[in-house]
Structure 1
Amino acid sequence: MTQSASTLINAIAQHAKSDLAPMVTAIDQGQYPEQYLRKLGQLGGFSASVPQAQGGQGLDLSVQIDATTLVSRECGSTAFMVWCQSTCAWYLLNAANNAVRERYLARVASGELLAGTGMSNTVKHLAGIEKINLRATRTEQGYEVNGSLPWVSNIGEDHLAVVAAHVEDEGYIMFAVRCNAPGVTLRRCLPFSGMEGTQTLNVRFDKVTVSNNDVIAHPLQFKAYIQRIKPGFVLGQTGMGLGIIEASIESMRATNQTHSHVNVFLDDQAEDLAAELQTLKAQVADLARQAQTGEAPLLDVLKARLATSELALRATQSEVLHTGAKGYLMNHGAQRRQREAVFVAIVTPALKHLRKEINDLELLQAEAA
């Protein structure tokens, strides 16, 4: 790790312990940590993969994943919002059109403008899992968008959302929209069992005007653009899982100071999980550096993301079993991390989604061989 990367990571780690750790229970119960996120943006917590000339740290995606991992050690919900914000910066960095990048990238990268990614429905649609929810028609100045998205996280009236829509007979567009734009309506969702502090809202579009200056990719650009951003989109989520795993292992080790004589009979031991984690982290870091330059093999990316979900589920279940009744108390991190790990396994691309895409790609490779 370079000195500049080390300086960034150390600052984020200290900030997470001093400012985030005391708020974790409140965030889990529904408090949106807006001021923490804005300060994290000022520290560079969303912009490791963004060049300095465009308002970033000039590092790469592997360092951004390290930053997300550090936040996730303290709070998986907040790490998810770090992924939302840094991924919106990733979208804008790689935008096919200069105007939208110049308009928003530096402000999103710094946390001045908070942003949510509403691409779950589109990613599932492109994988053949569900129909796309937003529809767009061309206008003289851009597009008019209608439809609704059930869950978009890290958004509010003064935030930005990045979403995609189907254009009849043309394909798809991806665009940025202010959440207080005319025709955009935000509505509360039913309470979640976890991730309540992520400000996840229903977003409805009623004849929303999207100018060409806010379009990230037009229909003819969309396919190549999605292929470019998808590895980073998927890999960025691994930081959420990796941090949860690290925190679970640390908790297991602490419990073993008094209960190792009985915990030894459990299936997953801390040191075994730690060894698997180190191998996985090395794989993710290597793929992230390749994704930064557009060279990461998608199949390997999907497998790394799948392995992160599976290991997070195992580690958090083992932590609860190691800690016993204490870990089942609402004031203990074990039960919270278990809920957060389940989220890592169901957020798009979910574990079942990943397995489907991996299967589809492997079949295509076998047919081509």
Structure 2
Amino acid sequence: MTQAAAREAAEQERLVLDAVDRFLERHVRPVASALEHADEYPHEIVERMKELGLFGAVIPAAHGGLGLSPSTYAKVIERISREWMSISGIINSHLIMAHIVARTGTKAQKAALLPRFATGELRGGLALTEPDCGTDLQAIRATARREGEDYIVNGTKTWISNGIHGTCFALLVKTDPTAEPRHRGMSMFIAEKGPGFAASRKLKKLGYKGIDSAELVFEDFRIPASRLIGGVEGRGMACAIAGLELGRVNVAARGVGIAQRALDEALRYSQQRSTFGKPIHQHQAIALKLADMAVRTEAARLLTEKAAQALDRGDRADLEAGMAKLFATEAALENATECMRIHGGYGYSPEFVAERLYRDAPLLVIGEGTNEIQRLVIAKRLIEQAPP
């Protein structure tokens, strides 16, 4: 990239981040706590996000999106998550679906779907998980059977973000349940809601409230063969992996956002609260916590930037994304816990942000592939790269 191009890219990023900051200050910060505690879907915020173009954040400009690089997108997600992590999930799940179509869809699928994704006209997410299948995606039981120009889908998906208010989903199914290895019998479709496709119930959660997590039920749901992503059966696992690389960078960025907000809240409270005649930040026990929180946050941010930059270049990024997701989400969990402890009894009160962070952070270490799985992915890639 030339210096002129780099300056132009930096200026574009600044303008985008400034716009996001204004949106958060005006439309999210004043209502986040009330909506979160009521577990109420943020309809007005979603409309504002549509106007801002966030549902097309990483969709190429040629298809009506903002065409943001993964690096800029990660910074957007970090900022959003500092204010209210739930709304980052509303766009992340949607953009994973869009990213899969952009990376692996046919030319006709890109032309038909990406512009509608970019405006938010079609919104949705990724339907992978099932009641008896989470991390082991090859164990899914949902099936799609070819019948003429359609496929007939039967099965259940669970813990699907945007399941109630979303209108379409990247749906992972078995088109050949007898295939060996199992991933060769897996395919992915873009499934729009219709007869035979219903969200059965909203699932209650400890945190991550406001966003709807739902169970999706498919009973003889008919979907056109033209919605088979890539137009060829057996590529479902590859589609999922393409989407999850971006998703894991997103979750890492959420971790950075939570870690940073926890640090900010802890710093603020430690200067306001006094014990034994001095502000608590002057007590060594608190000072050590603040220092560790700051180091974790910055290290998480740097790992996330490295993973996002690998995606910017179009490189394989499962190692970098796994490291970033692992470290940043653990940093979020630790910082949220320390923030609550620094606040003492007030940290356990819903009147303080510390309580929300403490409930939101645990999701990150199990979402988009558990951190135990990230460790296995990291180790496998390290062994592959190591000389014999």
TM-score, with normalisation over the residues of structure 2?
A: 0.86
Structure 1 residue matching 2:55: 3-state secondary structure: coil
* Structure 2 Cα separation of the partners of residues 134 and 108 of structure 1: 25
Does the 8 Å contact 1:116/1:152 carry over to 2?
yes
Distance 1:130 1:263, change over 3 A: farther
Cα separation, partners in 2 of 1:107 and 1:243, compared to 1, 3 Å:
same
Contact 1:27–1:77, Cα closer than 8 Å, also in 2: no
**Counterpart-to-counterpart distance in 2, 1:104 and 1:96:** 10
Larger RCO (CA under 8 A, 6+ residues apart)? 1
Is 1:252 the counterpart of 2:261? The answer is no
Q: Which amino acid aligns with 1:186?
A: A
CA offset digits 1:187-206 (Å, max 9, x no partner): 22442221231111110001
Asked whether 1:315 is paired with 2:324, we answer no
Change (3 A) 1:250 1:157: closer
Q: TM-score, normalised by structure 1?
A: 0.90
Q: Displacement, 1:208? A: 1.1
Q: Hey, what's the Cα distance between the residues in 1 that align with 2:171 and 2:150?
A: 15
Is 1:332 matched up with 2:352? yes
How big is the shift at 1:335? 1.1
What are the equivalent positions in structure 2 for 1:271-350 lying under 5 Å apart?
Answer: 271-350=291-370
Q: Aligned equivalents of 2:239 and 2:204: distance in 1? A: 35
Alignment partner of 1:5 out of 7, 13, 22: 13
Does the 8 Å CA contact 1:327/1:334 hold for their aligned counterparts?
A: yes
Shift of 1:365: 5.3
| 1:68-147 matches, cutoff 5 A | 68-121=77-130, 128=136, 131-147=139-155
1:50-106 CA distance string (max 9 Å, x none): 221111123301111111111111111112222112222212221332233222212
Measured in 2, the distance between the counterparts of 1:67 and 1:18 equals: 16
How far has the Cα of 1:266 moved from its partner?
4.2
> Deviation string for 1:305-344 (max 9, x for gaps)?
1001110011101100111111211121101101110011
2:201 is aligned with 1:188: yes
Q: Is the 8 A contact 1:116 1:162 kept in 2?
A: yes
Provide closer, same or farther for how the CA distance between residues 9 and 106 of structure 1 changes in structure 2, counting only shifts above 3 A: same
Quote the offset at 1:293 in angstroms. Answer: 4.1
Counterpart CA distance in 2 for 1:263 and 1:53 is 56
- Residue in 2 aligned with 1:264? 284
2:215 to 170, 188, 202: 202
The alpha carbon displacement at 1:278 in A equals: 2.4
1:356 to partner: Cα distance: 3.4
Counterpart of 2:78, as a letter, is T
Counterpart contact for 1:187–1:203, Cα < 8 Å: yes
Unaligned runs of at least 5 residues, structure 1:
none
Deviation at 1:253, TM superposition (A): 0.9
- Please state how far the C-alpha of 1:360 moved relative to its aligned partner: 4.2
SS of the residue 1:196 aligns to = coil
Give the distance between the partners of 2:56 and 2:294, measured in 1 at CA: 28
2:333 partner SS:
helix
